[in-house]
Structure 1
């Protein structure tokens, strides 16, 4: 029998999906990335422990996503909230979010994934790991870890 960190998570109502605006296919229009678009990319990531999405567990929320643009760069800041303060899957969840955005966004977009302040016992250590490009790259060379990340990113039927 598998032991869960959070055996009985609270399940939240999901947001209605936005209708596709056909103007996104118009090459003459500049389509800026916004928090809603980032949320749509990550909302369906699967939780590593439960057959639920990160949105259903309220781990990711559109309100915790910020998109900033300077003259030279664009930044996407994603805060995520583990379901419990001692969640052992927090690093894997952060890595799944980071990999999903890395695969989905232009390489010039800088992605910063962090635990929502005050929501995890070891948030500083996990945030350092998620910001360290070399550690993330090394993690993605680990076949067991990439399998776990891909499992989180595989759409459910």
Structure 2
């Protein structure tokens, strides 16, 4: 293997894994003992530069770690187009706010005036608001109950 340029260039996990793989091949071939493999593997795991990594292979033939150009970065997939959702008209948005108001008003009037059928008021408002929202969805989005 030719002398690797730039011995002070920092390495990453891919180069360390390549070094560990090469050490494993040398141990399998009988060139390294288990203890030597353990010592060198620990040094590979902490190596920060090409020079530090290659210094562990000076007394060994090929295979040695290879320093390839970094793989091209994968471009992020294009964002999924958002479906067009027309905004609900102001009247429908305000009618949705009527449901919690109707709950508070119904409970207040039931206890204030002692006429407990006022508790039904929020249910009536919720049904009417839900019906108008479903009608709008059906017309504009093709969804909703039928």
Q: What TM-score bracket applies, with the shorter chain setting the length? A: under 0.3
Between 1 and 2, higher relative CO (CA 8 Å, sep ≥ 6) is seen in 1
**Larger strand fraction of residues:** 1
Larger radius of gyration: 2
**Larger helix fraction of residues:** 2
TM-score by length of 2: 0.19
TM-score by length of 1: 0.18
